[in-house]
Structure 1
């Protein structure tokens, strides 16, 4: 059998590293001093271009005395024969080590097999942020700190000796090789897929059925115990899988294998994720986000399981997913004896009560709180009190892990105090449950939450009536769907109700037989392992085909230069190439089809300034989404056609920045946080267009702080007004607009001291800098540029930043629809709804506008008391609806909008 995955050593990926002598230690100390010096920091820009201007020479130039060069040369981590840049170094007339330092490391060239600079930078981004050389950092401090020089995956074995060269390969990821439901299901899936493919098992953890998984497959890769589940390690692991197996697709069995999904998808290998767990059992909330927004195919075992995820994750509402109950699972053999909760080993048939005419009720599963064993015992006590005509015995079959021993102690005490010692027994785990099923009369699923346990499938297929709690399992959901079996489902955690059903079945053999026949019929029509795996295979292959279309779109987008990596990737643009960005966009876009549905912008970002792909997909009659083509690719192929999906973009590059303007301009700024005012005033002062300023704030003390700040500035044409703390920034603004306070102005700028208390301070500061930078300026005089566009374009009514996020109504559609009706909003669009699903709007509610463009909103006359009280929810309020209606107001008033795009301002 082929089992691999353990590293050679626990230290440094198992690599035998070179030993260090006194000279290396001395060089390390010298280089540490150099790094700490002021001159080293000052000359950083010169070192970055070192060697680029040197003419090619035929003879090597002696290296200057450089402790960094010497440290690497003598470290044993540089192999000139291995280094890919050695020839280029000789052509440049420098040594290979110096070439590595000046060019090779930044280009991702490895100095030897002992060190991977790309991995090191991704694994430890603090090194990159500090501006330190990667290998130098490792030699100076990284090694001593226990950092890895190479990915752990580089030292794993990837077995290929049992692969059939005439078959394609599929990977099945298994979170642990225990005798639990998900792992047993994985063993069955592997066995079915192995009939058609080479199957390789990716095991997150070893366990009792490891050998069974290996025997059923072409081999297994088992991650070492200390494998860290971070992107750098996972991407390196997946690269090895792609290198050795070129897999068609991956089956990620259970959410505990979610860590592998994003990496496989990044490498172009689609995944089929089988989700058996309730979302509420996976915490903290957000742990499943990446799975839901990257996995090609999502398969839930029951509707109740899917609904649990939908309740917790808005992004899942954008995805198509399947609900497919798994088939009946055969049990794999154990690798070794398994600890049990009772004396005797597994399959001790003496534990099973003799067929003495009594009714035997069984519960099966690992003894843990989720299984609700206390309700099983409570039902036994209730049945005993009801005194049925036939004696009823209860048995729980399963082991208990050491960490749940206190729970088992509590259960034993419950058995004793309930007085059911004579009719209740804990049994050990059984490797073969057939003798249990032959003797069992009733199965009671007492779990609090249990998606679709294998034992209930097995029981149902054998005609064993299965009593279960409503809203607790997929089996309850299935039984409720049939009138003939719905009586087996009792209210949630109502052990007394379960006992009454058990007594009815014990007292009335004809009723028991009717339920037996009905549950067998229901099960035989639903639970088929062959069909289940065939459905998984079809989903995997469909994603393979979809990826092939994505590749055609990627080539077209790149050829036509129709993708902006800085806009799409945001801060990640420093670590991802444009090609990687296009692939990421196309993958996300594909997953949310049909793209015209609400909330798809939660997954898809804007790939190109001036273009909204989701509007294009929903509005362009020439675009056929069913053909599998991406809207951006179609937009590029068809010559970038005009439509609601396209808008003007104002850029600082090459734009005229008038020193003065004939426009009368006013800036309205609401500052609940006056401490942010200094930066705001400074940004206005960088521009030259004269403006009046109207400040609003929420207390006399804050007004005093604003006046003090203004007294130190050049903004002499400014006023400050105290308003109630209602309506945030938009309330005071629309109130002033309604009262005609801005009637004498041509253009209004609306701003506020953006701070988002519900998120990290850094997030709020980044967003504020993004908005102010786009609308006022940072290095550029954006206010002047924008006002110049207003002066030259009478039809321009609204300008706001080009945001990469494609949010839509979110939780605000109902409120927005009511307000839109009050506005008398009409859209020149053949839409079935008064408001389209996708649109652009000023996220963050900062913009420049003509007063006439906002008149439809101003006419509403919304009073401050109409706004919600503080603290305001993060979504679903009048404030959020008005923010989204601003561009509709401008369009309704006969104006068009444009966005600003400043490339270096990322979000």
Structure 2
């Protein structure tokens, strides 16, 4: 990135003359008060807004420290009251002003070599996303709970595009894992995440509000320094998340329980569109609880030192809070801390370090009030200077910045490796873009897959090509948590994990097989669709259709007259056991003992519990790959059974699906059948449609109906029905056969 251009631009920025507010250009680029040093590396620190709140103040302090080592660019998404303070420690300040972050980043890298882009808050996701797409190293500082992040996909997307992620507390990680369980069915911890409390902020700008004198505070409280009052302080923006109403409730119970006099102070600003509306409720609550004389609101303070100097306890009443600065300030003031378990990241820290604290069950305001009274009115309590010692020992801001600096080096190296792996795999042409599909980032899906794999999230990837299963490779090659399976395969000169037949349309072999086709037709409105597919089967076959309503028999028989079957039999079955039970139990007399060579199993999958017509796409994908849209396709598929070693043919699938919650059910089936148990099921007929050699799956027809049928509704995962879907490859291999997957190019679901 030519040094002449960098130097030229730097000279321009240095010419800006500063007054009380920064003069801006039309581009939103401003010269900082520090000079660009060509001997230093350059970093970008992204702040979502320059307000007097937690994350921006953290960002301001991070910038001050890191600017001692790096050339700092402060990237501001929204300018607020502290904007001028962010100019002090950077050589360049950029205001987004509604412009594309990608456009801004492209402009930056045109002139500067950027070592890393640091996003301070999940709200900076769009900038981190853009930085990653430009090949820049990225770090995300996530302070927010996944519970209130929207859109919900931002959490996973942000983890994917961040080389390193730093959280302030374990409770934030727990919320992220809970979210991934719900949205992606995974409890795997991304390996790029680390936890580090931020420490005590050393600097607060003058613009960060006023500081009331002690005398003024006493006056507001209506007491003097000699008054026999206990003072309890809470702080934060005045909103529901911070638990203003809960603090009022705690105050109510303390007043009821204690015989002593108490004063309660909330320090903070009213922000947001509902602030005035919320305040009405809080004032009403105070009136109903008769607390108007005991409870006051103080405006945001530049420093809490004065209010803390007269306080007896700090109460953090938040419903959800990571590890707020104000708790660290209260610890430094050696105040006992009261809070709810499960509501804040500071709870574990307080417990682990034997802090002077009061902890109550989640949002139990009466319990918290009781414990506060006991703590403050216990004359024998002598735990002095415990909390302030904790701050100096375990919450050093220098320690936090040193940790962040190490992560900068790690992120830079990690990103460099990612780009190298991408380059190598791109050259190898191993990755089939049309098969694997595109991931959740704008980057090519190959790069997306690399990012996931190298963060230990290979279970979120798609398989790279037909015939290669990421999970099967990992199981058979003892990979580490953060490896890229296709990279290892290329290094070993291996291009597949299992046999996959790519349909060519050129095979024209004779089919001399006696074939039975089972169709479980729960949704009879799909009859015409199946008729069109079955017409393409190259030989006469016997068709067995199972339905659940007797009144539909005549309609179904009429619909399937032209499907090409030699014989059609419609059988009424109970609505239990989904598509599998009708075949292995109800059709046992017709199929198991009738000397068929091959059995086809199909069903009217709709998946009504999924969105975007996924069930329809999935069903058609399976039918396109197992029968096709022409007799030539169907002939080619069935001719695979001319190889006597083949016992099972099913559609190739790009998705990474593991054994899930089905191991106990599957191994119970193995014990019933008398075959070895399994640890995983990396490749199986996903969707449970297949062609099978009758002799290879004969054991399924010997299963005891009473043991494996389960009443609906079945869970989303974890049942005998899910286990039966997964057992067929293992079963046919146990019987001496092999399986082959089939794939018709251009199909996807």
**Distance verdict in 2 for CA 1:350–1:902, change over 3 Å:** farther
Determine which of 659, 664, 677 is the counterpart of 2:527.
677
Mapped partners of 1:561, 1:350: distance in 2 = 74
1:284 shift after superposition: 5.7
Query: Is contact 2:456–2:483 with CA below 8 Å preserved after alignment?
Result: no
What secondary structure sits across from 2:448 in the alignment? helix
Query: Is contact 2:196–2:400 with CA below 8 Å preserved after alignment?
Result: yes
Determine which of 200, 217, 220 is the counterpart of 1:352.
217
Mapped partners of 1:570, 1:382: distance in 2 = 56
1:182 shift after superposition: 1.6
Matched, 1:904 2:746: yes
Q: Which residue of 1 aligns with 2:63?
A: 190
* CA deviation profile, 1:149-170 (whole Å, cap 9, x unmatched): xxxxxx6648699433222222
Mapped partners of 1:835, 1:4: distance in 2 = 67
**Distance verdict in 2 for CA 1:236–1:779, change over 3 Å:** farther
1:732 shift after superposition: 1.0
Q: Which residue of 2 aligns with 1:652?
A: 503
Query: Is contact 1:331–1:432 with CA below 8 Å preserved after alignment?
Result: no
**Distance verdict in 2 for CA 1:710–1:198, change over 3 Å:** same
Mapped partners of 2:483, 2:368: distance in 1 = 53
Mapped partners of 2:30, 2:475: distance in 1 = 46
Mapped partners of 1:891, 1:749: distance in 2 = 18
Mapped partners of 1:258, 1:576: distance in 2 = 13
Matched, 1:885 2:727: yes
Matched, 1:634 2:488: yes
1:532 shift after superposition: 1.6
Mapped partners of 2:114, 2:160: distance in 1 = 21
* CA deviation profile, 1:742-769 (whole Å, cap 9, x unmatched): 4411111111122111123532222122
> Once superposed, which parts of structure 1, at least 4 consecutive aligned residues long, lie more than 6 Å away?
1-7, 158-161
1:876 shift after superposition: 2.5
Mapped partners of 1:847, 1:565: distance in 2 = 26
Q: Which residue of 1 aligns with 2:394?
A: 526
Q: What's the TM-score once normalised by structure 2's chain length?
A: 0.88
Q: Which residue of 1 aligns with 2:266?
A: 396
Q: Which residue of 2 aligns with 1:168?
A: 41
Query: Is contact 1:758–1:874 with CA below 8 Å preserved after alignment?
Result: no
1:386 shift after superposition: 3.6
Q: Which residue of 2 aligns with 1:52?
A: none
Determine which of 507, 516, 536 is the counterpart of 2:404.
536
Mapped partners of 1:835, 1:527: distance in 2 = 48
Q: Which residue of 2 aligns with 1:361?
A: 232
Determine which of 239, 253, 257 is the counterpart of 2:106.
239
* CA deviation profile, 1:505-562 (whole Å, cap 9, x unmatched): 4334551x40x43333444333122222222332332232223333333333333332
Matched, 1:556 2:424: yes
Q: Which 5+ residue runs of structure 2 have no aligned equivalent?
A: 1-15, 219-223
What secondary structure sits across from 2:624 in the alignment? helix
Matched, 1:586 2:450: yes
What secondary structure sits across from 1:757 in the alignment? coil
Query: Is contact 2:29–2:93 with CA below 8 Å preserved after alignment?
Result: no
Aligned residues: 717
Q: Which residue of 2 aligns with 1:568?
A: 436
Query: Is contact 1:553–1:629 with CA below 8 Å preserved after alignment?
Result: no
Q: What's the TM-score once normalised by structure 1's chain length?
A: 0.74
Determine which of 298, 315, 320 is the counterpart of 1:444.
315
What does residue range 328-727 of structure 1 map to in structure 2 within 5 Å?
328-333=200-205, 347=212, 350-353=215-218, 354-357=224-227, 358-388=229-259, 391-401=261-271, 402-483=273-354, 485=356, 488-508=358-378, 510-511=380-381, 513-514=382-383, 516-569=384-437, 580-592=444-456, 600-601=458-459, 603-620=460-477, 625=480, 630-640=484-494, 646-653=497-504, 655-658=506-509, 660-727=510-577
* CA deviation profile, 1:569-611 (whole Å, cap 9, x unmatched): 2699xx989xx33222212211116xxxxxx42x111012211
Mapped partners of 1:633, 1:571: distance in 2 = 18
What does residue range 207-246 of structure 1 map to in structure 2 within 5 Å?
207-225=80-98, 233=100, 235-246=102-113
Mapped partners of 1:239, 1:365: distance in 2 = 37
* CA deviation profile, 1:473-526 (whole Å, cap 9, x unmatched): 1122222334554x5112222323333333334334551x40x43333444333
Matched, 1:852 2:709: no
Q: Higher relative CO (CA 8 A, sep ≥ 6), structure 1 or 2?
A: 2
What secondary structure sits across from 1:216 in the alignment? coil
Mapped partners of 2:697, 2:103: distance in 1 = 53
What secondary structure sits across from 1:705 in the alignment? helix
1:204 shift after superposition: 2.5
**Distance verdict in 2 for CA 1:186–1:570, change over 3 Å:** closer
1:306 shift after superposition: 1.6
* CA deviation profile, 1:679-707 (whole Å, cap 9, x unmatched): 22212323423322211112123333321
Q: Which residue of 2 aligns with 1:205?
A: 78
Mapped partners of 1:767, 1:244: distance in 2 = 48
What secondary structure sits across from 1:362 in the alignment? strand
Mapped partners of 1:770, 1:198: distance in 2 = 53
Mapped partners of 1:180, 1:752: distance in 2 = 57
**Distance verdict in 2 for CA 1:299–1:853, change over 3 Å:** farther
1:465 shift after superposition: 0.8
Query: Is contact 2:503–2:745 with CA below 8 Å preserved after alignment?
Result: no
Worse-superposed segment, 364-373 or 156-165: 156-165
Mapped partners of 1:696, 1:873: distance in 2 = 23
What secondary structure sits across from 2:314 in the alignment? strand
